[in-house]
Structure 1
Amino acid sequence: MNAPRDTSYDDSLLQALADPKEAAAYLDAVMELEDQEALMLALRQVAKAHGMAEVTRRAEVGDKTLFRVLSDKGNPTIGTLNKVLHALGLRLSVEPLPA
């Protein structure tokens, strides 16, 4: 993606993460790090790209709940994680590790 020179990194990142395919690839790459804080940051960035208020509405969770589970120390339940991912147009999947 070629962003104009005057567009900040954060703005161009959020613009890219609004695309579900880009968001999925981004989250997949972050999951390779096996770092929960990095994953929560990435999820927070994707949620911000979609509008936090809209994500809380679609996920049917409170705004305080969303901010808490997506914080650096967040530890969402699988149910909450699924709600947030679905609100973002994404889903959790499992695949075998590379040999």
Structure 2
Amino acid sequence: MTGTSAFWKDLARDLEDPEFLREFVVESMRIATTDEVVNALDEAREAAGLSKAELARAIQVEPATIRRLFASNKSNPTLGTLAEVAAALGMRITVEPLDDDERTRVTEPLLAGRTADPVALARHLHGLRTRSKVPV
């Protein structure tokens, strides 16, 4: 058994605990959503030809704040910060419903605290978090 398969086996066992499952789903979705929004804002900043320092001046924050937002893998910005950055780029942050497949894969296990296939759930969430396509 490889280390990777042991990892998935252990994670699948952990996901049988409803509390762990809910925390894992919520954290995975938080990371994936934050990364998607931050990446879109950085792309918009580049397309607008704005430097990070210029963007920081526009929303009256230290340039280091914007550098950390766009450079850190562990960025955890507030919604307020993201909304300010978006406004400076002529954008706004919106909420959209998950498609039916995502509701089945993510929302139903989150609400129920269980899933019929914990390995598939873990791999799907991992794929969202890493933005890679992981076979399910």
Q: Please give the TM-score of this superposition, normalised by the length of structure 2.
A: 0.40
Secondary structure (helix, strand or coil) at the match of 1:76 reads: coil
Between the two proteins, the alignment pairs up a number of residues equal to 66
Partner residue of 2:47 out of 8, 26, 49: 49
1:63 aligns with 2:63: yes
RMSD: 2.2
- Identity of matched residues, %: 38
1:58 is displaced (CA, Å) by 1.8
Aligned 1:13-92 pairs, distance under 5 A: 34=32, 36-37=34-35, 39-50=37-48, 51-52=50-51, 53-71=53-71, 72-92=73-93
Secondary structure (helix, strand or coil) at the match of 2:81 reads: helix
Larger radius of gyration: 2
The aligned amino acid for 2:38 is M
Task: Provide the rounded CA distance (Å) in 1 between the counterparts of 2:38 and 2:68.
Answer: 10
Runs of 4+ aligned structure 1 residues displaced above 3 Å come to: 34-42
Tell me the residue number matched to 1:3: none
Greater helix share, 1 or 2?
Answer: 2
Which structure 1 segments of 5+ residues have no match?
A: 1-33
Secondary structure (helix, strand or coil) at the match of 2:55 reads: helix
The aligned amino acid for 2:64 is K
Which structure 2 segments of 5+ residues have no match?
A: 1-31, 101-136
User: RCO higher in 1 or 2 (8 Å CA, sep ≥ 6)?
Assistant: 2
